């Protein structure tokens, strides 16, 4: 026995009394402190008997005469006091699932061994067993063994299972590692960032500022505002923290919830309630490694399916065995795991090699693990070695790629490369996510492929070349993120996109919706949801592009007129009850028709020396005047205060009328037509771009929303420094087109032409399904299926994108238009009848469409970029024999500044030839229109470079 401090004395007592649960009859309770030990007894008559118990526990270390426990450092001692508490019933101590509590529970008397009311209560019986959603937790004793990557493998397998079966799944992923979070840093690469963390969740649950139900509803809403649609499924992610300062200050941790006397499993209860609130089917939790109480409240709960990840290293195996020994103390009886009420843990042995798997090291490790989870309820569970077979061990082989993972996308690609992990995870996912009985697949409308379908596709593409015609909406990531993030509040954002990315298209669809709730419901697939709940948030086109046709102008005019009429003409009749709508009549909003760009242009020319505050005030005053609200002009030195005051005044006026507005702004490139060289335009635009954030920072609950659609190159002109910060802030709403959105747009255009079933929700279709369906549009390959020609979808994507993998919606629509136009006007020349059995766009038409697309692309890029225009004009002066790809910078006289600019644009890509010489390539979308010839021997090289620069692509 070694007693160095009072803590050793307490450990001795806990160990001998089964964590103070089996105290002698003479002792009611024992408390240990740094300055003494208190023994609670009913009366003085029990003192001698209690003293004998202490003597028996501590032997020669206990001085009966002085009532002291001697310590082993010099002559130190700990006094023992017997305190009479009077007769009172002995109360059962609640087992708290923390390591310190579990350490002193006897293995011979696990809580499940006795019924309620005996000395060791059956604590898990206080729960009702497994309830939805299904909770799965991953733990490891040692870090660096693959816990997080294996959890990711299970996560991706669930999504794949949902895709393969056609049954959408909703997954909540929680990073519960509050000391070394990994998933949280992975997620920082995502566009839509969560604004609620696991730390926030624990604090709100433990100390709700209002009724817990209402507080949790607020947490749920914030969590839902960053949900992601992946294929046909929904994913919620709860990061460990939102800011790193949170990680350094964590007053409330899982163990605080576990210390609840009423429910030791309150951590699980809280997590389950959150999962139920967001309607999750499965919750995946990445726990803290080691013997941490950050993990134990979840790890010890048999309601949760738990995976322990370990390598064969001695430290990892011994540590995992220690964990299993504690878990065995709370193990449920076999009949309850058999009925599926509770779970036994599963061990995943990682980083195996074939040699290790065949060695005695593996066999010995498995035997140690089995022995550690020693739950001898009956002989039927024993294997031939006498160990309980309730512990399952799975195997995962070593993969060097899994040693470094930086993001969710990286994890997806790398976990798929590990066949043992993938097979294990897919099998588990198949057992936990059943097949859907009636799978709804994408399908083509019945009928033969004929020229009428080609003409319909041509006409639809001509209409949708950013003309905004039609009532149907393709839900892009930017629009979906807007609707998710601002489901319950008004947006104050900037949507950035290059020319042709779909800014005006999105702007017109918002205008057509007229109500913010209608837009949110439309994106969510609830077409009539806004009509069932009172619409009170109006979308008003404040500033519109000038270069619009009559149909597009009518959309804007109707949106403005309807909002104006609803608000200004809502005078209640005597028999009409007073409503929020009726209250609008007290103030005549929108007496003007938007705001005049002529007035703005005049101010831009007349105030060249205005600073940013002047322009912020100008925009605020202009918006107020458009709403028939008038401010007094402030003094120059009071501008900052006046802006803040004006925003509050404007907000109060809106609240008073019960009015909520979302102002949408487009056409800024026409208004700021000299942004590249006129300082006043640069300052004025920067002030306007700062307006949404200023609204956010000033107003706690804003009745004024704002969405500004901005061309990407204009951001760089307006914000000379730290433009990246603004780009990052509004990245979730950036109009960009990746491989999946490219496929969805093509399929969606086919739906509008009634070539595909228009009732199918395109965003619910996985990439493989869409690629297969598009074969009916342009074939599997640009030739016969068994030819060596390129895959059609991959070729089109590569042809339309630059070397950064960027492409524009307008280019996609324009490409399909020209391919359909060529087919419909020259059916014989492109061999339509030869190909019509398996496609409606022949290979010849597909290849032909690239040139007019390239020429129009060059025209638009020159309008956007003076630097590119200068370089292109220089290239046109070259002799035809000089315009060949690949080339060296010396051959074309490209300056270092031009080279860096063009590489960043994705217009040039450098590669080393077999002689070690640096040569440069131009992507097809630029090369064709620039009339650069490609060396015949280099054609396969271009395709290889595209894959190298962009990743695997759509091959």
When mean pLDDT is compared across 62-66, 120-124, 165-169, 718-722, the lowest value belongs to 120-124
Can you give the pLDDT at residue 740?
A: 85
pLDDT tens readout for residues 329-349 = 888 877 777 666 789 999 999
Of 363, 271, 259, 248, the closest CA to residue 317 belongs to: 363
User: Which region holds residue 103: left if phi is over 0, alpha if psi is between -120 and 50, else beta?
Assistant: alpha
Can you give the pLDDT at residue 355?
A: 93
Spell out the residues 6+ positions from residue 914 whose beta carbon is closer than 8 angstroms to its own: none
Beta 346-352 vs 392-397: how paired, if at all? parallel
- What's the rounded mean pLDDT across residues 522-546? 73
Return mean pLDDT, the chain: 85
pLDDT tens readout for residues 452-497 = 999 999 998 887 765 545 556 678 889 989 998 998 899 999 999 8
Spell out the residues 6+ positions from residue 188 whose beta carbon is closer than 8 angstroms to its own: none
Can you give the pLDDT at residue 937?
A: 59
The pLDDT of residue 127 is above 70: no
Question: What are the φ and ψ backbone dihedral angles of 486, each rounded to 5 degrees?
Answer: -115, 45
Neighbours of 12 (CB within 10 A): 19
Can you give the pLDDT at residue 144?
A: 92
Q: Which two tokens stand for residue 470?
A: 């039609």
Beta 170-175 vs 77-84: how paired, if at all? unpaired
User: Which residues are paired to 663 by β-bridges?
Assistant: 540, 706
The pLDDT of residue 306 is above 90: yes
Which of 169-178, 258-267, 493-502, 764-773 is modeled with the greatest confidence?
Answer: 169-178
Can you give the pLDDT at residue 92?
A: 66
pLDDT top residue among 546 and 471 = 546
Can you give the pLDDT at residue 531?
A: 44
Peptide bond into 886 cis (omega under 30): yes
Q: Which two tokens stand for residue 231?
A: 């294929």
Of 267, 363, 265, the closest CA to residue 312 belongs to: 363
User: Which residues are paired to 352 by β-bridges?
Assistant: 397
Residues 704/490, Cβ–Cβ less than 8 Å: yes
DSSP character at residue 535: -
The pLDDT of residue 66 is above 60: yes
Instruction: Name the burial class of residue 69, with classes exposed (0-12), middle (13-18) and buried (19+) by CB atoms within 10 angstroms of its CB.
Output: buried
Spell out the residues 6+ positions from residue 433 whose beta carbon is closer than 8 angstroms to its own: 158, 161, 162, 165, 167, 169, 281, 282
Q: How confident is the model at residue 436 (pLDDT cuts 50, 70, 90)?
A: very low
pLDDT top residue among 945 and 866 = 866
Residues 54/30, Cβ–Cβ less than 8 Å: no
pLDDT tens readout for residues 880-936 = 989 999 999 999 999 998 998 898 888 999 888 777 888 899 999 999 999 999 876
Measure the CA–CA gap between 337 and 344, rounded to whole angstroms. Answer: 7
Q: Which two tokens stand for residue 393?
A: 């061990």
Angle at 58 between CA 54 and CA 62, to 5 degrees: 75
- What's the rounded mean pLDDT across residues 513-525? 87
- What's the rounded mean pLDDT across residues 791-796? 92
Measure the CA–CA gap between 36 and 81, rounded to whole angstroms. Answer: 8
Measure the CA–CA gap between 348 and 395, rounded to whole angstroms. Answer: 6
- What's the rounded mean pLDDT across residues 800-805? 87
Q: Which two tokens stand for residue 263?
A: 């429910």
Measure the CA–CA gap between 561 and 239, rounded to whole angstroms. Answer: 44
Q: How confident is the model at residue 377 (pLDDT cuts 50, 70, 90)?
A: low
Can you give the pLDDT at residue 287?
A: 97
The pLDDT of residue 79 is above 80: yes
Peptide bond into 133 cis (omega under 30): yes
Name the residue ranges covered by the structural domains of the chain.
Answer: 6-93, 126-430, 487-733, 739-950
The pLDDT of residue 585 is above 70: no
- What's the rounded mean pLDDT across residues 364-373? 92
When mean pLDDT is compared across 6-15, 210-219, 546-555, the lowest value belongs to 546-555
Measure the CA–CA gap between 388 and 386, rounded to whole angstroms. Answer: 7
Q: Which two tokens stand for residue 552?
A: 């597009």
Measure the CA–CA gap between 553 and 549, rounded to whole angstroms. Answer: 6
The pLDDT of residue 431 is above 50: yes
Residues 456/755, Cβ–Cβ less than 8 Å: yes
Residues 844/829, Cβ–Cβ less than 8 Å: yes
When mean pLDDT is compared across 711-715, 863-867, 928-932, the lowest value belongs to 863-867
Can you give the pLDDT at residue 564?
A: 78
- What's the rounded mean pLDDT across residues 421-433? 91
Can you give the pLDDT at residue 113?
A: 38
For domain 126-430, give the fold: Rossmann fold (3.40.50)
Can you give the pLDDT at residue 775?
A: 94
Neighbours of 403 (CB within 10 A): 12
- What's the rounded mean pLDDT across residues 109-114? 44
When mean pLDDT is compared across 225-234, 315-324, 679-688, 867-876, the lowest value belongs to 225-234
Q: How confident is the model at residue 733 (pLDDT cuts 50, 70, 90)?
A: very high
Instruction: Name the burial class of residue 2, with classes exposed (0-12), middle (13-18) and buried (19+) by CB atoms within 10 angstroms of its CB.
Output: exposed
Beta 492-497 vs 537-543: how paired, if at all? unpaired
Q: Which residue has the tokens 């028999």?
A: 575
The helices-and-strands tally (H runs, E runs) of the chain is 43, 21
Can you give the pLDDT at residue 598?
A: 80
Provide, rounded to the nearest whole percent, the portion of the chain with pLDDT above 70: 86
Query: Strand order in 29-33's β-sheet?
Result: 29-33, 36-41, 77-84, 68-70, 62-63
pLDDT tens readout for residues 557-573 = 888 887 777 666 543 33
Measure the CA–CA gap between 464 and 454, rounded to whole angstroms. Answer: 15
Q: Which two tokens stand for residue 933?
A: 């010839």
- What's the rounded mean pLDDT across residues 717-735? 88
Alpha helices by DSSP H, 610-701: 612-626, 639-656, 668-671, 679-698
């Amino acid at each position: 026995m070694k007693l160095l401090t009072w803590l050793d004395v307490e450990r001795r007592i806990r160990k001998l009394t089964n964590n103070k649960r089996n105290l002698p009859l003479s002792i009611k309770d024992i408390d240990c402190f740094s300055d003494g030990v208190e023994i609670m007894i009913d009366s003085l008559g029990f003192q001698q008997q209690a003293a004998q118990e202490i003597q028996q526990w501590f032997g020669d270390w206990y001085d009966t005469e002085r009532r002291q426990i001697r310590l082993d450092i010099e002559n130190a001692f700990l006094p023992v006091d017997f305190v009479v508490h009077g007769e009172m019933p002995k109360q059962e101590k609640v087992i708290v699932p923390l390591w310190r509590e579990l350490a002193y529970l006897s293995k011979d008397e696990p809580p499940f061994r006795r019924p309620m009311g005996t000395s060791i209560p059956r604590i898990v019986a206080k729960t009702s067993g497994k309830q939805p959603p299904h909770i799965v937790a991953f733990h490891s004793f040692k870090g660096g063994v693959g816990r997080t990557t294996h959890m990711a493998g299970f996560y991706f397998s669930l999504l794949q299972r949902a895709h393969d079966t056609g049954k959408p799944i909703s997954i909540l992923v929680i990073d519960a590692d509050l000391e070394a979070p990994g998933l949280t840093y992975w997620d920082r690469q995502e566009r839509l960032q969560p604004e609620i963390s696991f730390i926030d969740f624990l604090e709100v649950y433990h100390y709700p500022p209002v009724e817990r139900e209402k507080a949790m509803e607020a947490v749920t809403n914030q969590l839902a505002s960053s949900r992601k649609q992946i294929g046909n499924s929904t994913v919620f992610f709860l990061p460990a923290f939102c800011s790193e300062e949170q990680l350094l200050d964590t007053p409330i941790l899982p163990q605080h919830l576990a210390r609840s006397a009423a429910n030791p499993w309150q951590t699980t209860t809280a997590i389950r309630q959150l999962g139920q609130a967001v309607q999750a089917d499965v919750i995946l939790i990445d726990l803290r490694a080691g013997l941490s109480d950050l993990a134990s409240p979840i790890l010890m709960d048999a309601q949760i399916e738990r995976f322990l990840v370990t390598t064969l290293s001695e430290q990892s195996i011994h540590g995992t065995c220690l964990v299993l020994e504690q878990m065995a103390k709370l193990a449920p009886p076999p009949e309850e795991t058999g009925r599926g009420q509770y779970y036994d843990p599963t061990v995943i042995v990682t980083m195996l090699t074939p040699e290790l798997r065949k060695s005695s090291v593996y066999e010995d490790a498995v035997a140690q693990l089995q022995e550690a989870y020693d739950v001898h309820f009956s002989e039927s569970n024993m294997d031939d070695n006498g160990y309980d077979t309730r512990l399952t061990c799975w195997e995962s082989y070593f993969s060097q790629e899994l040693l470094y993972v930086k993001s969710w996308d990286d994890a997806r690609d790398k976990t798929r490369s590990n066949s043992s992990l993938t097979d294990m995870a897919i099998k588990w996912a198949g057992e936990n996510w059943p097949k859907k009985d009636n799978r709804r697949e994408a399908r083509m409308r019945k009928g033969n492929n004929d020229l009428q379908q080609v003409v319909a596709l041509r006409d639809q593409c001509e209409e949708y070349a950013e003309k905004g015609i039609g009532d149907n909406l393709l839900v892009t990531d930017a629009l979906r993120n807007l609707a998710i993030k601002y489901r319950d509040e008004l947006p104050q954002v900037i949507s950035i996109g290059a020319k042709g990315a779909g800014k005006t298209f999105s702007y017109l669809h918002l205008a057509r919706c007229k109500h913010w709730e209608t837009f949110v419901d439309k994106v969510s697939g609830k077409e009539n949801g806004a009509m069932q709940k009172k619409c009170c948030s109006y979308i008003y086109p404040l500033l519109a592009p000038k270069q619009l046709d009559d149909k597009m102008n009518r959309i804007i005019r109707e949106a403005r007129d309807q909002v104006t009429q609803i608000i200004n003409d809502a005078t209640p009749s005597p028999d009409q009850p007073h409503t929020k709508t009726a209250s609008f009549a007290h103030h005549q909003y929108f007496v003007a028709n938007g705001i005049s760009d002529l007035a703005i242009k005049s101010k831009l020319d007349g105030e060249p020396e205005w600073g940013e505050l002047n322009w912020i005030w100008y925009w605020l005053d202009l918006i107020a005047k458009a709403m028939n609200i008038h401010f007094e002009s402030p003094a120059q030195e009071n501008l900052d205060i006046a802006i803040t005051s004006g925003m509050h005044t404007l907000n109060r006026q809106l609240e008073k009328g019960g009015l909520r507005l979302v102002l949408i702004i487009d056409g800024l490139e026409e208004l700021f037509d000299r942004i590249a060289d006129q300082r006043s335009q640069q300052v004025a635009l920067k002030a306007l771009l700062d307006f949404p954030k200023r609204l956010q920072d000033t107003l706690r609950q804003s009745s004024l929303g704002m969405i500004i659609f901005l061309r990407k190159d204009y951001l760089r002109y307006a914000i000379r420094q730290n433009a990246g910060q603004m780009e990052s802030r509004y990245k979730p709403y950036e109009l960009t087109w990746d491989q999946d959105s490219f496929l969805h747009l093509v399929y969606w255009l086919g739906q509008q032409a009634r070539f595909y079933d228009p009732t199918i929700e395109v965003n619910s279709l996985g990439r493989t399904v869409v690629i297969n369906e598009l074969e009916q549009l342009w074939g599997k390959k640009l030739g016969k299926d068994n030819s060596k020609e390129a895959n059609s979808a991959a070729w089109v994507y590569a042809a339309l994108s630059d070397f950064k993998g960027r492409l524009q919606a307008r280019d996609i629509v324009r490409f399909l238009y020209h391919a359909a136009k060529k087919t419909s006007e020259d059916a014989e020349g492109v061999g339509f009848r030869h190909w019509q059995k398996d496609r409606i766009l022949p290979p010849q038409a597909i290849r032909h469409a690239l040139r007019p697309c390239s020429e129009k692309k060059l025209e638009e890029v020159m309008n956007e970029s003076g630097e590119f225009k200068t370089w292109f004009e220089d290239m046109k002066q070259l002799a035809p024999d000089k315009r060949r790809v690949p080339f060296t910078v010396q051959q074309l006289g490209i300056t270092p500044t031009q080279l860096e600019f063009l590489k960043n644009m994705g217009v040039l890509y450098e590669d080393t030839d077999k002689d070690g010489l640096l040569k440069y390539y131009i992507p097809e979308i630029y090369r064709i229109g620039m009339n650069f010839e490609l060396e015949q021997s280099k054609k396969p090289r271009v395709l290889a470079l595209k894959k190298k620069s962009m990743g695997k692509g759509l091959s």
